[in-house]
Structure 1
Amino acid sequence: MSRRAPRSRNNRKITRLLTCFLAVTAVVAGTVLPAGAASAAAPAAAPAATTVSNAVSQVVGDPAASGIVKSTLVGFNPGNIISDAVFTNKSTMTEAQIQAFFNSKVSRCLGGTDENGKPIVCLKDFKITSVTRPADQYCSGYSGAANESAARIIYRVSQACNINPQVLIVMLQKEQGLITHTWPSAWRYNIALGQGCPDTAPCDPNYIGFFHQIYGAARQMQIYMEGRWFQWYAPGKTWNILYNPTASCGSSPVYVANKATSALYYYTPYQPNAAALRAGYGNGDGCSAYGNRNFYNYFTDWFGSTQGIKYPDGPIVNVGKDIYAISNGTAYHITADVWPEYKAAYGNPEATVNAHIASLGQGGAASLFLRDATAGTVSYLNGGKTHRFASCDLVAKWKGNCASLTTFDSDDFRSPGAGAEMTTRANVKGDARIFALEGSALVPYQNVAAMTAWGQQAPSAFAATMPAAHAAKYPAVPTRFVPGQLITVVGSDRVFLPTADGQLIYLPKFDNARSMGLSTDVLKAVPTASIVNHPGRSNLGRYVVCNGATYFTANGALYRVPSSGGFTAVTPDSRTCALLKIADDAQGPLFVNATGDSTIYIADGGAFRHVGNPATLTALNGPGATRVVTLAPADLAGLPKGQILRADIGFVVTPGDGKVYLADAGRLLYLNSWSVADALGLPRAAVSISDAAGAALPKAGTVTAVVRCNAQLYSAASGTFTKITDAGGTSVTELSAANCATLRLP
């Protein structure tokens, strides 16, 4: 006995008249007509049958699997469920379109084996050997063939039996859910339409198998419509049609308007009650039946009106939330990012159905790059107009490809009207900045002033707007501001100097900007989006590096220095550096003082230290003129100060050789170990003097722990000095009175 669909408490199947009918020799004896027409007091009794169907069940052919949730059945007419013309229109779909429809409903089949160990094959991949059937008055016959797909069998049967292939597709879904099923058991194909499988007996072996189910059901529909053997529910009369197999659920009179509707009632002799109609695809009440309701639901959701309404021509249509552009026989899926532009150009979409889309060529996702199929013109869709590209190179700059475009026929292409030609200027939806296509980059400029300052295309040039998702295809680059422009960011009063190379340099005080000659005008409340590609962070002090050289900034100009003196030097971008005035490009030491004050300072160790005396100044400067920059008293007062600096005493070091010396009365004594400094009680610190200054001082021996100060010999250990009369062969270091004064002598 063949397996039938499993039943649950909510899955009781009913019988119908879909007999194992042989067209030439069969004799139907004792055919029972319904109890009466509309005037009958009792509802019509369901005729005996030999076929099963899910007239009552909501389980088989689960609508949720189709992704459709219908909330209304407005338009459903129980007396005209489908017109004869639509029911018998065998030209609605080609074999390829049927296959494409199946493919669209199951993106991935789960595979594996079913509960009986049979391979799981989804309908889109299903193939079987068909059987030859002779021609008769109902069908023109069928020549069997090996390895035929489900789509091919349905197409060939529809042609042979003059049945709309969409009708067979809908019946496959409502009976066994085969259109959307991702793991169908093999037995579902054997009883795909319930042909010859009554509840009360095993399935007729002549109708087991997918081919037998399709061919037998299509042929049976022609038998029903013939009206010779089946005369209850005959068209042109009113019949009491039950709501449910349970007679107590009642019935109501229905005028059956056509043969196709009567055939559906022979197949499933129940109409949906009010609860079933209210439920859409869902469950009604205990007296609801769903077979004919679900037939109407699936057909209208997938293929349009059951009364044969013409598909819309487009160019913009929708199937539920999915929107398509249709032109020249091809459908392009319009995604959310480009939809606003298509709507502006072509207006709201017309509703259509999946079958319409499946019947067309598939062009993939619609882009904003449109091509005139006749003239070959390539344009960008923006602001409700098309904007012509002068070359494919410009198309490429906009991340388009002349070899892959959304192609419209000339009427659809020209319909929005032509706007200004495309340029390398651009806007980005939702972004207040302006953009320029430079090389392979989409460069953002904060405003027109920035674009002008950078010498780019005139701000008046046309700028098409691209979606944000389109702009994201370009590499991220920093926003360009007017060079040297100070800004604040939304939500903060901190002032920054943004650079074109991605730095965001914090300005702790305006004096630092004034000292280097920058304007202190601030562009306030810049959006955060403008600085997201400025990851570099540093503080703007008094030292900058431009063109590889380090400069001290003062009085609105730059003064070159050998080093930053222990301060952090920031490196602005070349555009900012180009704004700055170089006052002095000499490479020697730089000293500062205040107006009206002869006290000299030099940057050392992150502080400005008072140069203690002329000898130290000479030692630090070396031969040649001394460079002193005079600052306003308040400016000098704002610089951090360190301890007094004397290069005639204490330890010094020159960059050239890196050795440490003790400066002593215009000469240098080599310190070969910091342990000697520890013995003398001197700090392990050395002042850096220029190589020139170091070369000007003679080298005069090595520092030892035995020193002579003021004609007295001392031996030093851990900063403690002991008077001695004899050095005992140890070298004696003669020290100047100035150096001796720094020692803790007894």
Structure 2
Amino acid sequence: MFIKKILSSIIIAAFFLPTISFAQEAINPSFDPGFLISDAAFADTGTFGSSTGVQQFLESRGSVLANTDPVFLTKLREPADVALKTALEDIRPNLGRLRTAAELIYDAALGAGLNPQVLIVTLQKEQSLITKNFTTDADLQRALDRALGYGCPDSQPCQASFLSFYGQFFGTLDVAGDRWLGAAKSLSKSFSHEVNGTRVGRGPLIDAQNQAFGSGPFVRASRINDTVIFQNTLGGFAGVQAIQTITLKNFATTALYRYTPHVFNGNYNFWRFYNEWFRYPNGTVIKLSSDSTLWVIDNGLRRTFSTFVAQQRGINISNPIVVSPTEFASYIEGSRYLPKDGTIIKSDAETVYYLIEEGKRRKITDFTAKQRGLNIAAAVTLPQAEVQSYDLGSILLPLENTLIKASDNPTVFMILGGVKRPITYAVFIQRKLNFADVALLPPAEVSEIPNGPLLPPSDGTIVRGSGPAVYLVENGTKRIFSYNVFVQRQYSFASVVVLSDEEMNALTVGLPVAPQDNTLVKLVDHPAIYMVSGGAKAHVTAAVFNLRKLYLQPIMILSSHELDSLPQAVYSFPPANGTLLRASDSQTVYLVENGQLRPISYEAFVARKFKFSNVVVLDPADVAVFEKGEVIVK
């Protein structure tokens, strides 16, 4: 009776609630859904100049991706396997350290022939990684793993093999060793796609009515100049049509609609963020009507510049664009615009030489000038005030992997990743370094080089400290082994290198070393069994366990930390290829091919001489957890 009274009160109150409406943002009238970005801008790989330019942009926006702390870098999940990264066409597969987010963005863009700005805008469009403040590590990791929304269709879970910041950009290999493109290469492929030798671009799949939505059947991929019908997401912006027809006017727009087959909110947000940050091409000169100061646009920042820089860089100052105070304020003020990278400068008041490199002026020493082959005689002399207006960076470093020591100190360092990293005797020997290669430098010069952590042993080294735990060194991190995984991977305790606790503590903690693919794993106190596949764990149902006779295989017991560190596959481990099956409540028969359940038509079933007596009948709940493929019609 009491419950009925409460329900009656809720129902009556509902009739007297005021109507609530939420204000929706107006659509920018300049938006052309058929032309999101020019082809030239889409393929402009030179926008940032280097990963340092990307880093500066991330810092200017307060992005979480600007974090360069080693612990954060492990969250990006860059693999240590050089062969894997080489197969994925990573342009820098063997740095021997974890890259920053800026470096991964830049390297992926350069390798794919894309403008890094395109990837930055996509990071914002998909996961708000440029501007959002993440309050928990779990939310941040989830966003990083899905950074570009790649492999994450609207109506289905994300594919586990793409769930890492690195994998989003560069892709992955499946268990058969087949290459799956990441977001960067996929966009590039769609941008340059040819049919019979003619470039046509690759847009979204469309049906016979040119619709890019619904259940199909889809007859072909759309191409440039096609008129395509899209279904929109409603509620974000005022006046959005549920169904919208547009013409794909260039290759870049065609590729972006292949990536996100909606106008709203996805591609409108792409256009919106791109124009908010990168509306004016680099080198555009702007000014206020009330001020004579000229500013140059550089990757979304406004910078002042000198007459020398204008002449050297070919900046046209004769026709600056006059902008409103509001638009002017939308561009964050950056540091003074520098001469071109590689320019050697000195002031008219001192004899110190500087190299312009990655947005900084860096002091040149005699050693680095000689080692790098720099021509000091070609230095440009500038006014002292101008030289001092340029951001001062760290001293110009010797080349990567150079061994150095100060003349008054026995410590040997390696130049690596912009810092000097001290080397212990054990690591010096383990890496087979040679004392004859150590350069002797003045103490003051060595002290000016930024300090880094201890140099780790080479990747692939098995190490331990004073305790019994054994670790694998990869990308400067230490990954703990369980005994079972150590034995399975056929490592030998005789090969373990003993380090001091100081050396061990200098290594960032990475994820535990996973069992090899095709290993059955479980917790000691839980019945669930998983198959390790493609670096992820796929749940094994009881039906598949029996169908595949997996009871004949050993099961490795993992700790909860080890099991939790394995990404969860979207779908359960499938029956063996060639299996015919159906759910007990359905007449649809599936054939398992390449790990997918593909519905098979009656005609195809007969044509392939299958027998209904061979069809395995499973519980509907089991069939629901397997990945489905396209219908087999013949």
| TM-score normalised by L of structure 1 | 0.30
Higher Rg of the two aligned structures = 1
More helix by share: 2
Q: TM-score, normalised by structure 2?
A: 0.35
